[in-house]
Homo-oligomer: A and B are copies of this chain.
């Protein structure tokens, strides 16, 4: 018998596709924070009925990127500086936990995957594809959580990631300037390959702080002079 690995087949419900479409639109900033999602309009654009669309929206509400007020509507969440601060401070704790858990589980497959994802970030950077750059950077960062062999941790991190990706996208949209060309992940990858777990944890924490300050400053700036709204 040939021992072949099969990946699970694709979800073939409209609902799943709608979720993917909406999530992408939100996380890339195509849909602005606070913006209302008109069910009829969206369902007509997507050529689906409101039923699967509404189910998809419930999922995204629970996922934390949408918020819903009965009989008023469903809106893209608003990003406050405090939200970012909260998400990041928790993320630090999760990173430390993840590194501790996956440290002994590192093997050649891990290192290979680490390099692969690192390469993806570098490629996106070369392409000046900011959206993809954010995506790949988060995927690189997510590897430690995937490798920690803790489903609840992974789930939690993925929820956090959604928001972080959204925040980053907004940030990138705001300052149209080019993304950092130099490779900020080089040390991170090296630490994860090294032999000092504490050092890796420390670096993860500090590395995060870096981007964070910039992002936070942007969020605070937004709050000082709020736009007229969508």
Contact = CB atoms under 8 A, between A and B. Distances in A.
Interface of A: 11-13, 15-16, 51, 54-55, 58-59, 61-64, 70-71, 82-83, 86-87, 89-90, 93-94, 97, 101, 150-153, 155-156, 159-160, 163
Nearest to A100: B93
Contact of A87 (B51, B152, B160): B152
A86 B153 contact: yes
Contacts of A63: 62
Contact of A150 (B11, B12, B54, B89): B89
Contacts of A11: 70
A90 B153 contact: yes
Contact of A152 (B15, B54, B160): B160
A152 B11 CA distance: 29
A93 B90 CA distance: 10
Given A62-B63, A93-B97, 14 more contacts: A51-B51, A55-B55, A58-B58, A58-B62, A86-B151, A86-B153, A89-B101, A89-B150, A90-B97, A90-B150, A90-B152, A90-B156, A93-B94, A156-B156
Q: Which 7 A-B pairs have the closest CB atoms?
A: A62-B62, A58-B58, A86-B152, A86-B150, A93-B97, A55-B58, A13-B70
